[in-house]
């Protein structure tokens, strides 16, 4: 079973990968981590499988590509090694495989290459996407709409069950954690926050309201889970939600509204 960590640069994917592995292993699970970032310089964990063994970002710099172009080409080229990567994973034979992805989210939200390579590694195994939303996006309702819209783009591209989490939740104030985030799944609640905000007006307000309505109309997002690596309970709750999703039947809904993800 596969756990795919996705999110913007700096959202804390690599740190969460290591901490989540420890939490899962403490309950007796056998967990492997795949570093899926060819441009990673330092990792806060020991990768069990590392795509840098197959593709190095420096090889594409030599072809005259810039940093973003090199990363896109490097990830696309991993399709040539997907079988070998899967063979490495199968040799470990883990209960769960965590895939830690690059922060350049356009690789997965808007381009074909990222999802194509990941799906070629996962095959038909059960999998779940964990989408990390950095707590900095929760400073006002318009930013919440923005990051949820990005999360919906990822969900549309991958067509997999997705758990949306707020990373670094220890940086959020109590009202956001206890009152606002738990109610975001309620139809129309985000729109009410937008209208009540004194810092949002004009075009930004109109656009944000339209996007919020579309998110609710699609039944896109359910409960959002605040996560902090400094809060062991939150990591256990995330692990519990992962288990819940991955043990559901084959017809588990991608749009998770009814299942309260």
Whether 243 maps to a domain, the answer reads yes
Measured between alpha carbons, how far is 159 from 237 in angstroms, rounded to an integer?
Answer: 23
Say whether 230 sits in a helix, a strand or coil.
coil
Domain that holds residue 113: 2-139+158-181+223-255
Whether 106 maps to a domain, the answer reads yes
Say whether 98 sits in a helix, a strand or coil.
strand
With CA atoms as reference, report the closest residue to 226 among 147, 133, 100, 99: 133
List the beta bridge partners of residue 3: 98, 128
With CA atoms as reference, report the closest residue to 218 among 185, 193, 250, 247: 185
Say whether 231 sits in a helix, a strand or coil.
coil
Whether 148 maps to a domain, the answer reads no
216 CB contacts (<8 Å, ≥6 apart)? 187, 188, 190, 191
Cβ 3 vs Cβ 122: under 8 Å: no
What pTM was estimated for this model as a whole? 0.89
Whether 199 maps to a domain, the answer reads no
> What confidence score (pLDDT) does residue 255 get?
36
User: For every one of its 261 residues, what pLDDT tens digit does the chain have, with 9 covering 90 and above?
Assistant: 999 999 988 889 999 999 999 999 998 999 999 999 998 888 999 999 999 999 988 878 766 677 778 888 888 889 999 999 999 999 999 999 999 998 888 888 888 888 899 999 998 889 999 999 999 999 899 999 999 999 988 888 888 889 999 999 989 998 899 899 999 988 899 999 999 988 888 899 999 999 999 998 887 766 789 999 999 999 999 999 999 888 864 443 433 433 433
Whether 25 maps to a domain, the answer reads yes
Say whether 95 sits in a helix, a strand or coil.
coil
259 CB contacts (<8 Å, ≥6 apart)? 222, 248, 252, 253
> What confidence score (pLDDT) does residue 3 get?
96
Whether 165 maps to a domain, the answer reads yes
Say whether 39 sits in a helix, a strand or coil.
coil
CATH number at residue 51: 3.40.50.300
> What confidence score (pLDDT) does residue 222 get?
67
The tally of domains found in the chain comes to 1
Q: How far is CA 180 from CA 18, 183, 214, in A?
A: 29, 5, 20
Q: How far is CA 117 from CA 51, 75, 111, 113, in A?
A: 11, 8, 11, 6
Whether 125 maps to a domain, the answer reads yes
What dihedral angle (degrees, nearest 10) is formed by the CA atoms of 242, 38, 107, 96?
-10
> What confidence score (pLDDT) does residue 210 get?
93
Whether 126 maps to a domain, the answer reads yes
> What confidence score (pLDDT) does residue 87 get?
95
Measured between alpha carbons, how far is 30 from 25 in angstroms, rounded to an integer?
Answer: 6
Query: How buried is residue 19: exposed, middle or buried, by Cβ count under 10 Å (0-12/13-18/19+)?
Result: buried
> What confidence score (pLDDT) does residue 221 get?
67
């Amino acid at each position: 079973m596969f756990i795919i960590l996705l999110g913007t640069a700096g959202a804390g994917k690599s740190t969460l990968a290591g901490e989540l592995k420890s939490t899962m292993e403490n309950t007796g699970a056998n967990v492997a981590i795949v570093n899926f970032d060819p441009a990673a310089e330092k990792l806060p964990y020991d990768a069990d499988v590392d795509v840098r063994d197959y593709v190095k970002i420096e090889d594409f710099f030599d072809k005259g590509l810039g940093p973003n172009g090199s990363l896109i080409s490097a990830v696309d080229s991993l399709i040539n090694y997907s079988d070998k990567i899967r063979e490495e994973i199968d040799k470990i034979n883990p209960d769960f495989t965590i895939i830690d992805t690059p922060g350049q989210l356009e690789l997965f939200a808007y381009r074909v290459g990222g999802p194509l390579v990941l799906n070629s590694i996962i095959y038909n195994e059960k999998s779940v996407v964990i989408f990390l939303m950095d707590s900095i996006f929760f400073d006002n309702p318009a930013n919440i709409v923005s990051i949820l819209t990005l999360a919906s783009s990822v969900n549309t591209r991958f067509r997999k069950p997705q758990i949306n989490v707020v990373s670094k939740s220890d940086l959020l104030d109590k009202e956001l954690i206890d009152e606002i985030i738990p109610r975001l799944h309620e139809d129309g609640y985000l729109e009410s926050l937008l209208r009540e905000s004194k810092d949002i007006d004009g075009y930004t307000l109109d656009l944000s309201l339209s996007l919020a309505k579309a998110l609710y109309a699609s039944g896109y997002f359910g409960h959002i889970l605040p996560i902090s690596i400094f809060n062991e309970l939150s990591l256990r709750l995330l692990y519990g939600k992962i288990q819940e999703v991955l043990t559901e039947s084959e017809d588990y809904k991608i749009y998770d509204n009814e299942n309260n993800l």
